[in-house]
Structure 1
């Protein structure tokens, strides 16, 4: 990783909390801007406890008109199983919530993806004409996702007349390695900001911290790329929140534009 010692983030240690497999691009961008990224995933990703739903979905893939992937993790855990059974069905339209997921699909050779280009959430995806009632009514939709999560997408598509199967292909859990790297950086006054791209990860962090750690967290700038994450952080009693534009590019722009203390 190359550091730009004269960049706008020079001298700043910034925590990247994306899952390990998705952390490198933002960490590298921070380093290129002069910052010191500290990768500390708040979510650990593993295969689903029960693989059968994915197996069943792959076997009846030709029955679906639309395959929605909630995240790059959904792509990484579902698409290899799909392609192992043959080529991507020509009539099956792929859809994604965010551009990172579009890129993950493209890396597996799946193109023609339907996805929002500005906001990256279920609401934005549902606004696209390809998911309107006249397009999905009477059709079968597969949603590849992790365990739990919001039901808005599935519920709305069902209300529009689609038959929806939610396929859990991976599971999420909190960090298992302990919080000592974060606490050590805080205690040594060398942790300047955190970037958080998941409300679930934010909750894991808050719950794992003791009173000392929560005091550190409350006074540390928290850069988040979605209003829902900001709202959830405020509900935890946090107030030093900087809402950025979406995705890694939005987070990086927010970091670069921030009025850092001298």
Structure 2
């Protein structure tokens, strides 16, 4: 396998439990993965989670927003989510669908193209939902577009928030030192909150140096936020999967 990254240092900001695959891919192609998680994903302590997951018969649709939503729902509910014939299960994207399959859940609806709420809302199955009950399984907070649009189409929508995001307690000095020495070549970011936390964790005085580094993001929404924060060398990947992120990193480093 070609070591095309040739020692380039790539900042990987994924949560610690999700960073290893991307880091390994970077290292296989000759790069140095600088692991610096800017998000930590933790379970929410809410008795309603277990009771809701054990009584899904009142919903026509259960929508999982992310692989984390699937995994933390399972964690809260003793590793299983009861299947029921009356419910259809939807995934926002392919990574979420894969997590559902691994959990033994059916995937009744997943966008063929795209990996966000907009792509899911374009599916024919969600156009006529008047009078239907929908449950959105997600993390604490987050975007409202999916629920807002489904409600505008006449659906009743409830949230089940199974995890929350916090800023990790990390020693930022090694990354600050790399910044000061101009030895970071690319930054990878997979969520808006991760980008905001990166800025906070490194401190305002380092933001100018941070903004000079090529930034690889996985959506136009993150690109817009990054531009507002002062980044001017931003590239959006074709998809949020690790291999697509890697290919975009390679392009940033080699210019090819």
Q: TM-score, normalised by structure 1?
A: 0.89
Given that 1:220 and 1:240 are in contact with CA atoms closer than 8 Å, whether structure 2 keeps it comes out as: yes
> Which SS does the other structure have where 1:258 is aligned?
helix
Number of the residue aligned with 2:116: 121
Q: Shift in Å at residue 80 of structure 1?
A: 4.3
Could you list the runs of 5+ residues in structure 2 that have no partner in the other structure?
none
> Which SS does the other structure have where 1:177 is aligned?
coil
Q: TM-score, normalised by structure 2?
A: 0.91
Q: 1:208 aligns with which of 190, 201, 204?
A: 201
**Is 1:106 aligned to residue 101 of structure 2?**
yes
Number of the residue aligned with 1:66: 61
Question: Aligned partners of 1:110, 1:151: CA distance in 2, in Å?
Answer: 25
Q: What is the number of residues matched between the two proteins?
A: 254
- Computed over aligned residues only, the root mean square deviation of the Cα atoms, in angstroms, reads 2.0
1:186-212 alpha-carbon deviations (Å, 9 max, x no partner): 234332111001011111122333344
> Which SS does the other structure have where 1:46 is aligned?
strand
Number of the residue aligned with 1:165: 158
Number of the residue aligned with 1:37: 33
Q: 1:16 aligns with which of 12, 15, 29?
A: 12
1:24-46 alpha-carbon deviations (Å, 9 max, x no partner): 22222212222111221111111
> Which SS does the other structure have where 2:134 is aligned?
strand
Given that 1:53 and 1:168 are in contact with CA atoms closer than 8 Å, whether structure 2 keeps it comes out as: no
> Which SS does the other structure have where 1:242 is aligned?
strand
Which piece of structure 1 moves more, 109-118 or 76-85? 76-85
1:122-201 mapped onto 2 (5 Å cutoff): 122-132=117-127, 134=128, 136-201=129-194
Question: Aligned partners of 1:118, 1:85: CA distance in 2, in Å?
Answer: 28
Number of the residue aligned with 2:243: 249
Question: Aligned partners of 1:188, 1:113: CA distance in 2, in Å?
Answer: 50
Q: 1:26 to 1:84 in 2, by over 3 A?
A: closer
Question: Aligned partners of 2:81, 2:42: CA distance in 1, in Å?
Answer: 24
Given that 1:225 and 1:250 are in contact with CA atoms closer than 8 Å, whether structure 2 keeps it comes out as: no
Q: 1:65 to 1:80 in 2, by over 3 A?
A: farther
Number of the residue aligned with 1:235: 228
Question: Aligned partners of 1:86, 1:101: CA distance in 2, in Å?
Answer: 15
